[in-house]
Amino acid sequence: MKVLAIRHVEIEHLGVFEEHLKSLEIEYEYLDTPKGERLREPLESYSALIVLGGYMGAYEENTYEFLTYEFKLMEEALKKEIPLLGICLGAQMLAKVLGARVYPGEKGKEIGWMEVLKTGEHPYFRDFPQKLKVFQWHGDTFDLPEGAERIFSSEKYENQGFVYDKSVGLQFHIEVDKGLARIWKEAYKEEILEEGIDPQAFDSISEEEEKQLKILSFGFIKKFLGV
């Protein structure tokens, strides 16, 4: 079994999923499309496709031409029923591929550790509680694609997570732990300053909450990959 992860920024990687996949003895590869990388083997040679976050908008394919290539890969994954997980930008891209609108959020950015509410049910998320603290970093949002099941919402944005057939879109960063959040805090200091974000927002998760999140993300990825 092998997983393909499309990465847009070096430090915005699979996070805790790297550890999970290693423990399950599942291989993973990164495809850094902004660097010009393209697939060297058929998409169906992978057991799943994960599209990670990034600074660009899902509607900016005219500016970032590699997004057009990614949209084609996502469409192929959907057509061939290859499990597809979109995180943050990846979720917005999935929503767009499924025909939904993606646009700048009218209620401002969500940055830091914040609560999401479980508003729907699906076997992938059976073990998830009704409230969960997760890491957020986004300004755009999307409409729920037709035929998709909404699973998570937040106070600001109702579409935080959805399932469509074998595909999952998560607006929040289920792959981020406190260590990775701190790396992002250092790397994106200017945006944090511009947005007036309290730096403490990057540490406002307890050890117990972080441990729970890691257990839940492990359970999710197992169900998602069918292992």
Positions annotated as catalytic residues are 88, 173, 175
Distance CA(88)–CA(73), nearest Å, equals 17
Would you state the structure tokens that stand for residue 154, as one six-digit string?
């937040």
First to last CA, the chain: 10
- Amino acid at the residue 13: H
CA angle 179, 112, 61 (to 5 degrees): 95
CA angle 218, 223, 225 (to 5 degrees): 95
Residue 136 β-bridge partners: 112
